[in-house]
């Protein structure tokens, strides 16, 4: 680990989506994430100690990415259950696995991953460390 880093972890990321409701439904059904709907600010998906803020395309919150784009996401989530459970859930929910399970090298070492697409065609990787 780099001892001079000033950053501890990621708190949240933002996805621009065609339909916030469709995105909330997908991540809730497929990965068990919970929706947070504050009175002010974006709807978010909660999981572990993290969240994904959802911006409706064309109605993004400020500040925002320079060119917010539906489907430009590509990220990795670490499973809290064995990867076999994730694969079974994807199959049960009829979510096509594009790649995997396959070995990858994550931030803290070797892991096994599966890749699939969300409703906006963002590439979602779910992984489990050995």
Assess if residue 53 is contained within a domain: yes
Contacts of 67 by beta carbon, 8 Å cutoff, 6+ apart? none
pLDDT, position 66: 87
Q: Which segments within the chain are labelled E, that is strand?
A: 12-17, 34-36, 43-47, 50-56, 74-78, 97-106, 109-117, 123-129
Say if 7 falls within a structural domain: no
Distance of CA 42 to the CA centre of its chain: 16
State the pLDDT at residue 62. 83
Contact 42, 54 (CB under 8 A): yes
pLDDT along the chain (130 residues), means of 10: 75 95 98 94 94 92 89 96 96 97 96 98 95
What per-residue confidence (pLDDT) applies to 77? 96
Is residue 125 part of the annotated active site? The answer reads yes
pLDDT at 101: 97
The CA angle 116-121-124, to the nearest 5 degrees, is: 35
pTM of the model: 0.91
- DSSP per-residue codes, 80-93: SS-HHHHHHHHHHT
Residue 62 lies in a domain: yes
Confidence (pLDDT) at 110: 97
Question: Would you state the pLDDT for residue 9?
Answer: 83
Is residue 48 domain-resident? Answer: yes
**What total of structural domains would you count in the chain?**
1
Catalytic residue among 21, 34, 98, 125: 125
Q: Which CATH number characterizes residue 95's domain?
A: 3.10.180.10
At 81 the pLDDT is 95
Position 1 scores a pLDDT of 52
Backbone angles phi, psi at 86, to 5 degrees: -65, -45
Q: Is 4 within a domain?
A: no
Q: What is the DSSP letter of 66?
A: S
pLDDT at residue 61, as a whole number: 87
User: 37: domain range?
Assistant: 12-129
């Amino acid at each position: 680990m780099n001892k001079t880093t000033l950053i501890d972890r990621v708190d949240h990321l933002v996805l621009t989506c065609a339909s916030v409701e469709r995105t909330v439904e997908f991540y809730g059904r497929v990965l068990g994430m919970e929706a947070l709907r504050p009175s002010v600010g974006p709807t978010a998906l909660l999981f572990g100690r993290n969240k994904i803020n959802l911006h409706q395309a064309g109605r993004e919150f400020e500040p925002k990415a320079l060119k917010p784009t539906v489907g430009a996401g590509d990220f990795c989530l670490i499973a809290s259950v064995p990867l076999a459970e994730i694969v079974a859930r994807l199959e049960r929910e009829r979510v096509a696995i594009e790649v995997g399970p396959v070995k990858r090298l994550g931030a803290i070492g070797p892991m096994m991953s599966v890749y699939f697409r969300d409703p906006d065609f963002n590439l979602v990787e779910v992984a489990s460390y050995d």
